[in-house]
Amino acid sequence: MDTRDTSTDRSAVVAMPESGFHHARRGLALAALTGLFAPALLRAQSAPLQMEVWKSPTCGCCKDWIEHMQARGFRVKVHDTGNTAARERLRVPMKLGSCHTALVGRYAIEGHVPVTDVIRLLKEAPDAVGLAVPGMPVGSPGMDGPQYGARRDPYDVLLVARDGSTRIFSSYR
Ligand SMILES: [Cu+2]
């Protein structure tokens, strides 16, 4: 894989949500009128965005992912309790599990999900459990430190439905 191409793709993705928010603002008024009122979207409008994370106290890549979220304006409350109970409570199937579980608005965020996907989720506000990046793919946010060199494994961000089924929300490859 050509790493230059990858970084170009990523900056294109990173550039998106800014304008997305302006569209979301207009969409919010429309949603309120049509009765499709989405609390998560409302919360997405008020800066800073709030997030809770459950992780093990010794998880380094979790910390790096949290910094990735904070860098884009998320205010994070961390619970160093492990994430097994939180994952179960938030109805993320265990087979989709990763090292940390987060709650943003009404959505579960499992694993190293890029912040751009979290923001897109809040904007689109689908009826779903949330997003998951199962395992810990190298190259995903928090798994992209100098210790991994230039290695970037392909991975998908999955949208998790209420019945536990998934579809690809975005692909990084
Ligand atoms: Cu991790």
- 7-40 tens-digit pLDDT: 434 433 343 344 333 444 444 444 444 444 445 5
pLDDT at 172 over 60: yes
Contact indicator for 172, 162 with CB cutoff of 8 Å: no
Cα separation, 67 vs 33, in Å, equals: 37
Centre of ligand 1 from the C-alpha of residue 79, in Å: 15
Q: Which amino acid is at 114?
A: P
Centre of ligand 1 from the C-alpha of residue 61, in Å: 4
Centre of ligand 1 from the C-alpha of residue 58, in Å: 11
Centre of ligand 1 from the C-alpha of residue 63, in Å: 9
Q: Are strands 107-111 and 49-55 parallel, antiparallel or unpaired?
A: unpaired
pLDDT at 85 over 80: yes
Give pLDDT tens digits for 120-137: 999 999 999 999 999 999
162 burial (CB, 10 Å; 0-12 / 13-18 / 19+) is exposed
For residue 84, give both structure tokens.
């097994």
Residues 88-101 have a mean pLDDT of: 98
Cα separation, 77 vs 160, in Å, equals: 23
Contact indicator for 111, 135 with CB cutoff of 8 Å: yes
Q: Which amino acid is at 26?
A: R
For residue 56, give both structure tokens.
């093990």
Centre of ligand 1 from the C-alpha of residue 32, in Å: 38
Centre of ligand 1 from the C-alpha of residue 143, in Å: 7
Cα separation, 171 vs 173, in Å, equals: 6
pLDDT at 167 over 60: yes
Centre of ligand 1 from the C-alpha of residue 35, in Å: 39
Cα separation, 59 vs 99, in Å, equals: 8
- pLDDT of amino acid 27: 45
Cα separation, 106 vs 168, in Å, equals: 20
- pLDDT of amino acid 41: 52
Average pLDDT of every residue of the chain? 83
Overall pTM > 0.85: no
For residue 119, give both structure tokens.
């923001």
* Adjacent-strand bridge partners of 76: 51
Residues 78-101 have a mean pLDDT of: 98
Give pLDDT tens digits for 136-156: 999 999 999 999 999 999 999
Give pLDDT tens digits for 38-62: 455 555 455 579 999 999 999 999 9
- pLDDT of amino acid 32: 43
Q: Are strands 49-55 and 166-172 parallel, antiparallel or unpaired?
A: unpaired
pLDDT at 105 over 50: yes
According to DSSP, residue 161 is labeled P
